[in-house]
Structure 1
């Protein structure tokens, strides 16, 4: 086998599934993608307690890990264990690595391959020059490195312009289209009786705004620091459902897909402040001719994404 290009990917969840779906379509490996996705969904259900292991032997997480993982054949997926953040901190099986040959792929050197390598925070792995390419949530980049400015950041395209080159060489290349939105929401008592529930309303608002603690910097970036004058961040209590906490506060920002849970709590949906999407990242100093070819393979006009970045 020729050159193998390592690519940092999330270990679990929607972002990893989006990467696998992308590779299934571009490299015609649907069985591999389905195998990894179904295994991780099954293990998530066991960790959550919604299903039981299929046999007494499979109750042992180490037994299941050994059953799933292939250490002798790198083209078969390997898994590892992490502590889950649920009550009791149970061990959870997550993705570790797999190698995918690129034989016959146009414009890629002969005998090249890619190796997907699971990382808890792929963006940080690129920042420390461990990888040239990787996938991660656009949210993490906002949380880590974008400059906070008075004006809002409302598109993923604008991220690169707000990254200080002295902070990192990593840049966003494209998105994968698995879009959910950070949405402004409020109770009818707090929402404007006339006009829209949007940034303009928030700029006139004085009072508490309920958000997840990890999204504090993200909200500052996407709303703009000028808009937040007079706004005080409050956070859900441990174990409290986010939409319920926002309903108690009267106003908040949270990720929504359909918004049905928010409506169940009597909340009105306002402006979609920022699209959260899995993005392809590159670290320019680490690029080679082969990694550029792989980047082009992973990118493409067929992507239905909120993101369009000039190359």
Structure 2
């Protein structure tokens, strides 16, 4: 039996799909990646009620999806969803993938993807040496707040206090969306751009999701936020609608179509939100180094500069 390298991954959503896509680009696991992604999309639709449930209840579906006697087949588990009624939702649990064709990997070495609600925190507590999570969580938890703004993921490591955590960002996966400055026409500058320079002189409300408060402080810099008052959407209120009421806000955008539907103008893309590969540096071994290099690489199209 060769060495097994566990890797913490998100249990669902875009970040997990990005991890699977990355592995499918480097290994022959396209079928596995598609199977996991389609299963979780189906379960999400059932949980949201956008498709009708079939005859089988959630426990029967879980038994159908999971293959407990073959670790190279995906396993799933149940979590309580935050939606009304807190329904049980099927999410990813684990799968083992051989590394037979990876140069430099020991004979019979393999990786085991292990689902976690917050992979970054699992690395912080030294449960894992490698993992994937949103760059946002790193900013929300460990990046130092400074008067100067932070505008690149590549600068995140420089703002992590070594006494706070041994986890560092290795690279991004390129699944980029942006924390974008949004404003109504009444608040946006008539001539100048809707950007950080505008915020330097702005005083008034800025609507954000509560979980992004520390991230926004890190990205904009505490000096820029002098005179700014954070406002938060009421529970159940659409974020773009709340920003339209406040006049100015920061929220994740892809195309910006929903923001425009609420009469908002799109300003500067303040910071990229991206799934990132993380490493707990004190847990590194030779095999982990091989896996890290294998997951990294110049073929990645990412906002994060790839480390050598």
TM-score of the alignment, normalized to the shorter chain, above 0.5? yes
Q: Which residue of 1 aligns with 2:37?
A: 37
Q: Distance in 1 between matches of 2:300 and 2:73?
A: 27
Q: Distance in 2 between matches of 1:309 and 1:39?
A: 32
Q: Distance in 1 between matches of 2:291 and 2:102?
A: 10
The DSSP-based 3-state class of the residue aligned with 1:244 is helix
Q: Which residue of 2 aligns with 1:88?
A: 85
Is this contact kept in 2: 1:104–1:110, CA < 8 A?
A: no
1:21 aligns with 2:21: yes
The DSSP-based 3-state class of the residue aligned with 1:307 is coil
Q: Deviations over 1:178-205 (max 9, x none)?
A: 0000000100000000101011111111
Runs of 4 or more consecutive aligned structure 1 residues displaced over 6 Å after TM superposition:
none
Q: Distance in 2 between matches of 1:28 and 1:101?
A: 10
Q: Any residues of structure 2 matched to 1:153-302 within 5 Å, and which? A: 153-302=150-299
Q: Distance in 1 between matches of 2:74 and 2:271?
A: 34
Q: Deviations over 1:53-72 (max 9, x none)?
A: 23x2x1x1111111111111
How far residue 113 of structure 1 moved from its aligned partner, in angstroms, is 0.2
Q: Which residue of 1 aligns with 2:4?
A: 4
How far residue 147 of structure 1 moved from its aligned partner, in angstroms, is 0.2
TM value normalised by structure 2 = 0.99
Q: Which residue of 2 aligns with 1:52?
A: 52
Is this contact kept in 2: 1:7–1:132, CA < 8 A?
A: yes
Structure 1 residue runs of 5 or longer lacking an equivalent are none
How far residue 87 of structure 1 moved from its aligned partner, in angstroms, is 0.9
Q: Deviations over 1:259-305 (max 9, x none)?
A: 01000110000010000000000011111111100111100100000
Question: Which of 61, 68, 74 pairs up with 1:77?
Answer: 74
Alignment: residue pair count = 308
Q: Deviations over 1:165-187 (max 9, x none)?
A: 00000000000000000000100
Question: Which of 131, 139, 143 pairs up with 1:134?
Answer: 131
Q: Which residue of 1 aligns with 2:99?
A: 102
Structure 2 residue runs of 5 or longer lacking an equivalent are none
1:119 aligns with 2:120: no
How far residue 108 of structure 1 moved from its aligned partner, in angstroms, is 1.0
How far residue 310 of structure 1 moved from its aligned partner, in angstroms, is 3.5
